[in-house]
Amino acid sequence: QLVSKRLLREDEQDGAEVLLQPLPEDEVSELLRGVQRASEDRKTLLRRLRRALQDKETQQKFVRLDGSVRTLVGLFTGSLADVQMEAARCLHELSHSSDAAVAEACMPVTSYLLTYLSGHSVEFMELCLYTLGNLVVESEAVRKQLLPQGIIPVLASCIQSPHEAVLEGLGYVLSQLLQAKEAPTEIIPLVLDSVLPQHMLRLVCSGLKSGTGAAVEFAWCLHYIVWPGAGKTWARIPKALSFSLSKLTCPVLRCLGNLLAEETGCEAQIQDERLLAALFTVMQCYLQKQPFIVPEGLWLLNNLTADDPFFCFALLSLDLLPALLQLLPCSQAASVLVLTVLCNVAEKGPTYCQQLHQRAALPLLLGPLALPDPEVVGQCLELLHLLFLHCPQAAVDFVRQGGPQTLKQHQSTPELQERVQGLLDMALQLPGASVFSSSPAASSAFS
């Protein structure tokens, strides 16, 4: 749906019949000649042409006629407002074609579409924006023409419009540009060099909570800038962009994380496992040069996995657990957040705990468990409690791997004493756990 074309059609209130069948070529030609002749019926003929252009075959026949698009462009740039609007609607129908040749036949109108994005009615600007967006979807030639024509500066001026319809149309155009295969090298640098990112962030933060269409469009635009190709095209991004992207990444992560932290219904709208894959790609890309991004990403991951099991399941099914565990030693903040995410997964019940245990999460917990950091150790204890509760075999293996000796280090820490003893008692009560506790030191730990 994000890459599909969009069509604006006014309600048919004049009683005219919508043409459902393709017109013969001679009728298309006659209709064009009628439009070309200056007459009082031009507006009516344009309406009939617009309905005819709803058919793909008729679109192809029309653009093959000599002077057909040139005629529409001439009327589109004329001084008669009602004729101009009807010509714009005809061009909009053509832009909705799935035939790239039809889209490229409309290239002579692109500069005028950009010009008319200032100083005209909201309805006219909206029509121009969606026509541009449709043309951008279909043809790389159109995109390459629009860039030197100044589409990015024009969109940057439009983003300050007070009209929701204009902003939503602008978001549509921009999202199509940012999904182009050449976006990382040719489009994203221009966008980052404009005022678009800061205004998009403002509109996302102010509008997503209320569910405005523009805010949703701009949220996806920011997604495409920060995670081009959902993590598949990082190698094609110029190195000079890395710092600019990192500055934009933090606000996007925080914005989405804040929305998930509130009861906005946002989590139900973003249940797409590709988001999880992209998030891990981002954290891995910035791990060495901008490690402060990692806690930001983990905080978002925490909010994604806190309630709904969708992303907990995706974390395991996409085999991202090893990548998550590798982030444990990054920093104190990262350790706490990684352990919190693991707790979120373990809270979902026995199946999830068994998966964590089978994927060797337990041995990697012994390192953080030995740290002299009460916050990190506290999260380890919470995770172990959930694992022992839902997967008794985890307790048996924990004892076998020398876990009780590590726990003993914290028996004198006031804020951890009670939880440590409770966890040891819990492990002792599980059948088979004490079998592996043969040394006097281990036995005394359970007494």
Over residues 362-387, the mean pLDDT reads 91
Tokens of 75: 């009327």
Residue written as tokens 């969606």?
A: 130
Q: pLDDT per residue over 95-109, tens digit each?
A: 999 888 998 999 999
- SS3 assignment, position 363: helix
CB proximity list for 173: less than 8 A, separation 6 or greater: 129, 130, 132, 133, 136, 151, 155
Q: What is the band of 441 on the pLDDT scale with cuts at 50, 70, 90?
A: very low
Q: What is the 8-class DSSP label of residue 373?
A: -
Check the CA dihedral 45-48-52-54 and report its sign.
positive
Over residues 71-91, the mean pLDDT reads 93
Over residues 157-173, the mean pLDDT reads 93
Do 94 and 106 contact (CB within 8 A), yes or no?
yes
Q: What is the band of 2 on the pLDDT scale with cuts at 50, 70, 90?
A: very low
| CA-to-CA dists, residue 391 to 240, 346, 378, 388, angstroms | 49, 10, 20, 5
Which pTM value belongs to this model?
0.62
Residue 46: pLDDT above 90? yes
Residue 4: pLDDT above 80? no
